[in-house]
Amino acid sequence: MEHHLQIDGWRSNIRFSSCHMLLRHDKCSRLHGHSYAIHLKVEGELDDNHMLADFGEMKRVLRGFAEELDHRTLIPTENNDITVHEDGGNIKVDMLGKVYSFPSCDVIMVPIPTTTVEELSKYLLGRFISEADIPFGVRTVSIGVDEGWGQGAWSTEEIRR
């Protein structure tokens, strides 16, 4: 029998606020920000203690992600249309001719092609799978990222052992 465990990032306070910009989008190519929440769903079979996973361990990992991204400017690094270089403690970003300069401490480089919630959920899912202590009975992990209440994206991966 499959069981489901779910963590709601809004209600569990697994949130972060960040700014970003999206290339080739009329409105969203301008620098802007969101209040984000990170959600988790895992599916699988219960262990000998009749648990699927430890909520505390799962939240610890998710909160770490939120803290890392909080109050930062998200810069994607896997996009050929974006050039980034450090210049005396500042990060200079050229996005198709729009040039930004940020203090290095205010920026986080994210190894994704763009900072949409679709790509952020996929990125955080990969990190979660590699960094969390996922119990043996867990078969599927899904990470959701909302940019504001009620709109977001999910990525799901089967755990292969």
pLDDT confidence of residue 10? 98
The tens place of each residue's pLDDT in the chain, 161 residues long, gives 789 999 999 999 999 999 999 988 888 878 999 999 999 999 999 998 899 999 999 999 999 999 999 999 999 999 999 999 998 899 999 998 999 999 999 999 999 999 999 999 999 999 999 999 999 999 999 999 999 999 999 999 999 87
pLDDT confidence of residue 128? 98
Report the catalytic residues.
Answer: 28, 71, 147
Cβ 109 vs Cβ 84: under 8 Å: yes
Domain positions in the chain: 3-73+114-158
Please give the structure tokens belonging to residue 145: 């990222």
What is the distance between the alpha carbons of residues 130 and 127, in angstroms, rounded to a whole number? 5
Of 103, 111, 107, 4, residue with least CA distance to 51:
4
Q: Which CATH class is domain 3-73+114-158?
A: alpha beta
Residue 15 to residues 11, 19, 56, 146, Cα–Cα distance (Å): 9, 13, 16, 9
